[in-house]
């Protein structure tokens, strides 16, 4: 008897829970009306290709928990490249943690004193305390269940997201001052300036992570029909909600006043103040924090367990293979916490909290896009090296369809990766030398480490 139970609605909600996040809205709001262009391009060249390729790989080579990326790329290119791919997926999360935690810190500030949101030391303290508390909790295997995570996302992300869109429409309808102009000229960004195109990386960062839902492949009912429908619906809903939410922020908060980590709460404050309900701000802040914590809880332990899958092929030293009685890879979590702590110190080196948020986001998406490049290439290669493996969902139109979908994804990911190294013209980053050096050195060191570990591996490492 089949255990497939997940239908279109459930899979769509899972995808939305992964993709829909409020923390990325202020990044895109910096671009004004042209954010519509960036969202549309990111959805076409990244979100949809990633979703379709992941669906085929997951139903052909079912992932064991979060280790799907390693299994897929190992089947195509061997364990060395597979280890690099899963390493990139893990380490980009290590870099990404301070960004979502800084968003939590800035949002939480609106419960007490909104001025704290721009204080580097306050943000740094909240990031470190929250992250290490979350890490220690995961030592005990105490992670939020799927249902609870979904509830957190609904009440703390989707509902506030809908609210910010509705209040944006009310702001326009009430004749209030609008911070951007709505002309055809403003819709298309200045593509001749590479520093303007950088915000495409911000849109891609918002849409990244869709491959995570592939871990539910064995529970999908009629995957040939369910995956495309769920992907289409979740893509349309997420693009609409995130795009309109970003526009709401852009029309209310002038670009010069917009904080990348507190922009959401700045917008709600102006909304609520205009309608005489500013007293609701602390309650809304608590809801949004709950939504972000629900998102964070799924990521602290997940990527670490994904990295642990490589121990089967002897890619991890025994020290990092150790798990406690709850099956938690404690030593990996300790290393994860130590690296995140070091990365978080960038908040003290950059001129503003917003610039720190952006440079960490840029490094995270560069590393993530390198992983996606390997996954796209793996999907193409497996069509030729293992054509007889049954895939419950298969990208239509044969190998030509795969080349088209994965090829678009490759071009989009490669282009976005390159422009991600350039500082955006709208954000003060404290000089291009430090900015670019930080990204280049961070990327090079991150990619060298897994090859060193793989070179030093011994037969005794294999579990």
List the single range of 226-230, 242-246, 357-361, 407-411 with lowest mean pLDDT.
226-230
pLDDT at 395: 92
Domain that holds residue 333: 8-461
> Does residue 116 form part of some domain?
yes
pLDDT in tens, 68-97: 889 999 999 999 999 999 999 999 988 988
Q: Is the pLDDT of residue 6 over 70?
A: no
SS3 (DSSP) at 170: helix
Asked if the structure places residue 88 within a domain, the reply is: yes
Kind and range of the H or E run holding 302: helix 302-308
The mean pLDDT of the chain is 84
Q: Does residue 2 sit within a domain?
A: no
422 inside domain: yes
- Tell me the two tokens of residue 282: 């602390």
Q: What is the pLDDT of residue 350?
A: 80
Confidence grade of residue 145 (pLDDT, cut at 50, 70, 90):
very low
Assigned token pair, 196? 């303007």
The reply to whether 3 falls in a domain is: no
If one counts the domains in the chain, the total is 1
The pLDDT of 191-206, averaged and rounded, is: 77
Average pLDDT over residues 254-264: 86
Q: Would 53 be classed as within a structural domain?
A: yes
User: Tell me: the pLDDT tens digits for 369-405?
Assistant: 999 999 999 999 999 999 999 888 899 999 999 999 9
pLDDT > 90 in the chain, percent: 26
What CATH number is associated with residue 125? 1.20.1740.10
Q: Under DSSP, is residue 220 helix (H, G, I), strand (E, B) or coil?
A: strand
At 261-318, the pLDDT tens digits run: 888 999 999 999 988 888 989 999 988 888 787 777 667 777 787 788 888 788 888 8
Q: Is residue 229 part of a domain?
A: yes
CB 355 within 8 A of CB 425: no
Cα–Cα dist 382/455, whole Å:
25
From its phi and psi, is residue 61 left (phi > 0), alpha (psi between -120 and 50) or beta?
beta
DSSP-based three-state secondary structure for 250: helix
Is residue 218 very low, low, confident or very high in pLDDT (cuts 50, 70, 90)?
A: low
Average pLDDT over residues 338-345: 90
Would you say residue 401 lies in a domain? yes
């Amino acid at each position: 008897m089949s255990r497939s139970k997940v239908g279109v609605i459930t899979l769509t909600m899972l995808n939305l829970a992964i993709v829909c996040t409020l923390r990325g809205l202020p990044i895109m709001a910096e671009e004004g009306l042209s954010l519509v262009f960036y969202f549309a391009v990111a959805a076409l060249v990244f979100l949809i290709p990633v979703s379709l390729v992941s669906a085929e790989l997951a139903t052909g080579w079912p992932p064991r928990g979060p280790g799907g990326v390693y299994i897929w790329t190992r089947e195509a290119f061997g364990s060395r490249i597979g280890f690099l791919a899963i390493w990139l997926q893990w380490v980009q999360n290590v870099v990404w943690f301070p960004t979502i935690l800084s968003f939590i810190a800035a949002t939480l500030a609106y419960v007490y004193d909104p001025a704290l949101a721009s204080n580097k030391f306050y943000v740094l303290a909240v990031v470190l305390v929250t992250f290490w508390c979350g890490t220690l909790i995961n030592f005990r295997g105490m992670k939020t269940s799927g249902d609870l995570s979904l509830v957190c996302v609904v009440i703390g992300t989707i509902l506030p997201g809908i609210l910010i869109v509705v209040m944006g429409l009310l702001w326009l309808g009430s004749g209030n001052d609008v911070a951007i102009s709505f002309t055809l000229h403003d819709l298309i960004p200045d593509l001749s300036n590479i520093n303007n195109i950088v915000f495409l990386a911000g849109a891609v960062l918002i849409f990244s992570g869709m491959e995570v839902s592939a871990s539910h492949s064995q529970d999908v009912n009629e995957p040939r029909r369910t995956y495309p429908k769920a992907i289409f619906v979740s893509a349309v809903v997420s693009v609409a909600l995130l795009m309109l939410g970003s526009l709401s922020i852009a029309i209310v908060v002038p670009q010069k006043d917009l904080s990348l980590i507190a922009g959401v709460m700045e917008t709600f404050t102006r909304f609520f103040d205009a309608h005489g309900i500013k007293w609701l701000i602390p309650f809304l802040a608590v809801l949004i924090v709950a939504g972000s914590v629900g998102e964070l809880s799924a990521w602290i332990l997940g990527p670490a367990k994904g990295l642990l899958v490589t121990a089967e092929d002897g890619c991890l030293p025994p020290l990092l293979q150790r798990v406690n009685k709850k099956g938690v890879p404690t030593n990996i979590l300790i290393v994860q916490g130590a690296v995140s702590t070091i990365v978080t110190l960038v908040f003290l080196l950059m001129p503003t909290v917003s610039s720190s948020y952006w440079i960490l986001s840029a490094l995270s998406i560069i590393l993530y896009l390198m992983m996606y490049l390997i996954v796209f290439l793996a999907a193409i290669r497996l069509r030729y090296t293992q054509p007889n493996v049954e895939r419950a969902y298969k990208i239509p139109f044969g190998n030509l369809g795969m080349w088209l979908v994965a090829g678009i994804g490759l071009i989009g990911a490669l282009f976005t990766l390159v422009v991600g190294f350039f500082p955006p013209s709208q954000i003060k980053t404290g000089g291009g030398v430090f900015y670019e050096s930080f990204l280049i050195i961070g990327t090079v060191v991150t990619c060298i480490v897994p090859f060193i570990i793989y070179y030093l591996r011994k037969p005794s490492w294999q579990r």
